Copies of this chain bind each other. A is one copy, B any other.
């Protein structure tokens, strides 16, 4: 079994940030700073999948992680997706990225390329995520039987839906901003609580496609959050809502203002 190979560790504002690699995949683990001394008080874990073209420490990832650590006292882990961040691109990666850039430049629909390329990335990423989760659960401050959530929009959903369908350790997930085909078939096998985000005026993803993906989840407990606005205009308060979703479903260790 692969284990986490920790390199750098820094701490600020009550958040401990530890860089790691596992089987050659670089990642980052954010934790409550009390764990700096190797404290063994266990806390839930949220896996976060970053969007296409970004990486494990993009501002959206660091910002969401800081909120989850501060408000819930949970751990948050992100790994670079294949071909992203500190990872090399294959010739196929380069080819698909060039096609996407070309489509965007000429105003062609990027959807079919994104859907196809992200399905390919998911095939590579799911086993990496599962090995990462194996190793994270070896840490005493996480443990092998604690609650685990997943949070990923855009490409983070393209990778997350097959991951959550494949790995029964993940008990709650926030998804969104993706096309229904081909994910909807996989979503039918997911029964854990889901919060699903879509943009009502998305210029890339047809409204009916986003609604169909939400509809496909078998979960009895699922919520759709649809906001007016374009593809990239997801309101910041959706992060707040996701934090509260994880507090409800993974078990918050701190008092949040309200709750169900």
Spell out A's residues near B (CB within 8 Å).
67, 71, 200, 211, 214-215, 219-229, 235-237, 239-241, 243-244, 248, 255-260
Residue of B nearest to A67 (CB): B258
A211: which B residues are within 8 A, CB to CB? 211
Name the distance in Å between A221's Cβ and chain B's nearest Cβ: 7
Name the distance in Å between A235's Cβ and chain B's nearest Cβ: 6
A227: which B residues are within 8 A, CB to CB? 222-224
Name the distance in Å between A223's Cβ and chain B's nearest Cβ: 5
| Sample of 6 further A-B pairs with CB below 8 A, known A240-B244, A243-B258 | A71-B258, A200-B224, A223-B235, A224-B226, A237-B260, A240-B258
- B228 in contact with A226 (CB, 8 Å): no
Name the distance in Å between A237's Cβ and chain B's nearest Cβ: 4
Residue of B219, B225, B228 touching A219 (CB-CB under 8 A): B228
In the assembled complex, the Cα of A220 lies from the Cα of B260 at a distance in Å of 28
A243: which B residues are within 8 A, CB to CB? 258
In the assembled complex, the Cα of A248 lies from the Cα of B219 at a distance in Å of 30
Residue of B223, B255, B259 touching A225 (CB-CB under 8 A): B223
A224: which B residues are within 8 A, CB to CB? 200, 224-227
What are 10 residue pairs bridging A and B, where the CB atoms are less than 8 Å apart in the complex? A71-B258, A211-B211, A220-B228, A224-B226, A237-B244, A237-B258, A240-B244, A241-B241, A243-B258, A256-B257
Name the distance in Å between A74's Cβ and chain B's nearest Cβ: 14
Name the distance in Å between A216's Cβ and chain B's nearest Cβ: 12
8 residue pairs, one from A and one from B, having the closest CB atoms: A237-B260, A224-B226, A240-B258, A257-B257, A256-B257, A222-B228, A236-B260, A223-B227
Name the distance in Å between A170's Cβ and chain B's nearest Cβ: 19
In the assembled complex, the Cα of A105 lies from the Cα of B224 at a distance in Å of 32
Name the distance in Å between A157's Cβ and chain B's nearest Cβ: 17
